[in-house]
Amino acid sequence: MTNPLTLYDRPNSYIGHSVPRPDARRLSEGRGRFVDDKVLPRMVHAAFVRSDMAHARITSIDISDAKNSPGVIAVWTGADLAPHVEPYVGVLSHLAGLRSAPQMPLADDVARWQGEPLAMIVATSRALAEDAVALVTVEYEELPAACDMETALDPDAPVIHQEFGSNLAWERTVDVGDTKAAFSRTDVTLVERELRFGRHTGVTLEARAAIADFDPSEDHLTFHYSGQAPHMMQFIFAKHLGLAEENVRIIAEDVGGSFGIKIHTYGDEIATAIASRLLKRPVKFVADRHESFLTDIHARDHVVHGKMAVTQDGQIAALAFDDVTGIGPFSMYPRTSAIEANQVLNLTGAPYDIENYHARARVVFQNKNMMCQYRAVGHPIAMAICDGLLEDAAAAIGLDPVEIRRRNLMRDDSYPRASASGMKLDDLSHQKALERLVDMMRYEALREDQARLRNEGVFRGIGFCSMVEVTNPSPMFYGIGGAPIASQDGATIRLDAGGGIQVSSSVTEQGQGTNTILAQIAADIFGVDLDRVRIKTGDTEVTPYGGGTWASRGAGIGGEAMLQAAVALKEQVLDVAAVILQAKPDDLDIKAGKITDTDGTERMDLSDLARTVYYRGNELPSDLKPELIATRHYRVTDFPFVFTNGAMAAHVEVDTDTGIIRVLDFWAVEDCGRVLNPLLVDEQIRGGVVQGIGGALYEECLYSEDGQMLNTTMADYLVPMSAEMPDIHVAHIETPTKTSVLGAKGAGEAGTGGAPGAILNAVNDALRPLNSSLWQMPMTPERVLKALGKV
């Protein structure tokens, strides 16, 4: 398959060859130009001058040397591009009180984080553009920076946006029952902890990349990008560049990983589209790894003060916490940077019976890169808060961590019902998942080995996490707040004359196997072999309207649309077959590409039927007008979300001399409804667990006190590698969701959401005999040794 991001790099027959100069000395704009008797390629490349400061007034930008640098086509500052774009603001109306300042592709007067783009260079190659970047001189007046989210709300903290009067972006409190009264009871045991979660990012295999190609004759923008939501981006480019929406085509074909990182509006990508429009030629931008660390959204930067009360028989009496999270100087557009904190409020304690619940979240501006949605948005924080405190409380009253869960998890026969925070729940299986997990991991034997090894000075721990995962979101997630984000997805299926079927779907392929699932559903429901199905995704010009890939919705929503479209096409085909074969539609079926009787007797090939319709329609009755194509859309209507649940466990060994933590084994039991493709589902869960291990033990975006990111290379930013990976054992409970015929829920984020909590509990289980504990992620060797009092 041709990679669209390299398509325009292919030289035309004349590029790079000496040719006679015509009298005009220059080709018409948009086709190339002569330099030193050579025609340069039509496509040009962008690079960006980025702020060195976390917070500074820009007093001047000298671009004169850059403009005269070899190969440079154009140089623009923020002031130059401002007339060509409408500012964007990352707020949602249903997050009451959320505020953020307008954003522009390039900063103009003030730089508010290290890495913010200030100027754009367009040249004939990326290398020449980078050379010119080095020639730009930026003069700053450094301003006080608010980098610490815990002090950003102090009265004397520097205020990033003066018009707001403080750095508070959003605040919400959830109050259920009476936590004060519950904490005051004399028959409860209290545990209280401060949990810290390190800011980290997605580290996609393929960096953000884009090619913008503006055609002035049609006033039409084609934008190839490595991203997740083509129709959302179509709206954004149309609105903010002043184009008709039908004149914007977004193409996002096979994407080399995204994890939520590539579902946001980035200033450098908007600037790339503006540059193409101004130059009337394709412009390509690919972030290098240093830029990715500086500018790809970060996530998980939270400090939580949590408290839980349990009775002596292990019942949760109350849960309360206060969460502060720093999001950078703006709320990301259009999904906002408050969703993660909102998810923490909504999901903490969701698997358990909790009558008294208090939660507060404060979202604050700071002079660091922006934070937003990353795989399992808010889930790792929410699950670690409740399950970490729960196992801490179990230890305090001398109760086994499995037993305390048995006493508090919602019963499997208690649905539909609501969580402590009011989330509507149905079709879950927490108790079944826990029992399957305990059997699968041979829990009692592990405990015996743990006790024996402790006597030998080897400290191993076992930790659990019972979790939920938000999947298949309805319009209540984003659409209700005014965001241009579709909750529905669509599928179109067409029977070709040769008997194969063509499918187009609005979900996108990020490496998670979406295209395989769609083909599998289409083939199974319609009745052809899998190799007769062709799938097209990620192109707004040829796919139905839909939301794309996010919140584990590809199979549950996109797959249901596919199922409904395949059913509709099959009905059409059988209606035609019934006329041709003089039979009843109910007496016919399609199997392996052939029309058959219901007993399997072959009657005719699909290709014969299709050619009759397409080529010899005169042979059919005039009132029979088959189209042999069907489109269906699907959205969840009965619930705001469809929840997946799971139970996970980690087995770790802590070296108390070096502080190194080794994950020995990991188990995950997942209930994602009907499992459509076991191999894909299992690998999605394993991949999620790997990212969860990264957040728990390795990954952290480190900043200096003045807002300089310190680890912007793969040598300094640690990700788990194969040597650090344990065996990850996966099993399933299948409780189909009643919201669809297919019964599929999502599975892509569960591992990321549950693994950090399980590992946190396992490490603290290992440290407990030493009267130590650790409540900060990532749990690095230095932090382990500090917890042990050795540094």
The closest of 672, 651, 192, 670 to 464, measured between CA atoms, is: 651
* 444 and 520 within one domain: no
The 10 Å CB-count burial string (b at 16+, else e) for 330-339 is bbbbbbbbbb
In the chain, which stretches have pLDDT less than 50?
Answer: 1-37
What is the β-pairing status of strands 283-286 and 44-50? parallel
Question: What is the C-alpha separation between 521 and 562, in angstroms, rounded?
Answer: 7
User: 55-103, pLDDT tens digit by residue?
Assistant: 999 999 999 999 999 999 999 999 999 999 999 999 999 999 999 999 9
Helix (H, G, I), strand (E, B) or coil at 471: strand
Q: Considering the domain boundaries, does residue 552 fall inside one?
A: yes
Question: What is the C-alpha separation between 342 and 324, in angstroms, rounded?
Answer: 11
Going from the C-alpha of 355 to that of each of 283, 310, 407, 459, 628, the distances in angstroms are 57, 12, 14, 36, 55
Going from the C-alpha of 114 to that of each of 76, 107, 376, 548, the distances in angstroms are 19, 11, 26, 31
The pLDDT assigned to 477 comes to 87
* 493 and 463 within one domain: no
How long, in residues, is the chain? 791
The closest of 669, 684, 668 to 553, measured between CA atoms, is: 684
* 736 and 670 within one domain: yes
What's the total number of domains in the chain?
Answer: 3
Going from the C-alpha of 504 to that of each of 180, 496, 515, 556, 629, the distances in angstroms are 55, 13, 10, 16, 11
Judge contact between 606 and 529, C-beta under 8 A: no
Helix (H, G, I), strand (E, B) or coil at 367: coil
The domain that contains 128 carries what CATH number? 3.90.1170.50
Question: What is the C-alpha separation between 262 and 510, in angstroms, rounded?
Answer: 10
* 651 and 603 within one domain: no
Question: What is the C-alpha separation between 524 and 416, in angstroms, rounded?
Answer: 31
Going from the C-alpha of 601 to that of each of 270, 368, 585, 591, 596, the distances in angstroms are 58, 68, 15, 10, 5
Residues 6+ apart with CB under 8 A from 787: 767, 772, 773, 774
Question: Could you tell me where the beta strands, DSSP code E, fall in 300-394?
Answer: 302-311, 316-326, 357-364
Helix (H, G, I), strand (E, B) or coil at 420: coil
Phi-psi region of 219 (alpha: psi -120 to 50; beta: other; left: phi over 0): left
* 28 and 39 within one domain: no
DSSP readout, 476-516?
Answer: TTTGGGT-S--S-EEEEEEE-TTS-EEEEESS--SSSSHHH
Question: What is the C-alpha separation between 411 and 39, in angstroms, rounded?
Answer: 72
Q: Considering the domain boundaries, does residue 357 fall inside one?
A: no
pTM, 2 dp? 0.93
* 657 and 517 within one domain: no
Q: Considering the domain boundaries, does residue 515 fall inside one?
A: yes
* 507 and 465 within one domain: no
Q: Considering the domain boundaries, does residue 108 fall inside one?
A: yes
Can you read off the two tokens belonging to residue 160? 């990033």
Strand partners of residue 120: 48, 76
DSSP readout, 424-465?
Answer: EE-S--HHHHHHHHHHHHTHHHHHHHHHHHHHTT-EEEEEEE
Can you read off the two tokens belonging to residue 602? 């072959």
The pLDDT assigned to 39 comes to 54
Question: What is the C-alpha separation between 172 and 16, in angstroms, rounded?
Answer: 60
* 677 and 560 within one domain: no
Question: What is the C-alpha separation between 416 and 424, in angstroms, rounded?
Answer: 7
**3 state SS for 87-114:** CECCCCCCCCCCCCCCECCCCCCEECCC
Backbone φ and ψ for 72, nearest 5 degrees, come out as: -75, 130
Helix (H, G, I), strand (E, B) or coil at 242: coil
* 401 and 501 within one domain: no
Q: Considering the domain boundaries, does residue 525 fall inside one?
A: yes
User: How far is the first Cα of the chain from the last one, in angstroms, to the nearest whole number?
Assistant: 54
* 740 and 628 within one domain: no
What is the β-pairing status of strands 220-225 and 248-251? parallel
Q: Considering the domain boundaries, does residue 516 fall inside one?
A: yes
Question: What is the C-alpha separation between 704 and 383, in angstroms, rounded?
Answer: 29
C-alpha R_g of the chain:
28
Q: Considering the domain boundaries, does residue 337 fall inside one?
A: no
Last residue of a domain, one of 247, 272, 295: 295
To which residue do tokens 């649309």 refer? 561
Can you read off the two tokens belonging to residue 610? 């299709």
| DSSP at 740 | S
Count Cα atoms within 13 angstroms, Cβ side, for 128. 15
Last residue of a domain, one of 603, 634, 665: 634
The domain that contains 652 carries what CATH number? 3.30.365.10
Question: What is the C-alpha separation between 78 and 87, in angstroms, rounded?
Answer: 12
Specify the amino acid at residue 722. Answer: S
Last residue of a domain, one of 578, 600, 634: 634
Which residue segment(s) compose the domain that 607 sits in?
4-32+488-634
The pLDDT assigned to 21 comes to 33
* 100 and 17 within one domain: no
The closest of 575, 572, 545, 550 to 561, measured between CA atoms, is: 545
* 133 and 97 within one domain: yes
Q: Considering the domain boundaries, does residue 466 fall inside one?
A: yes
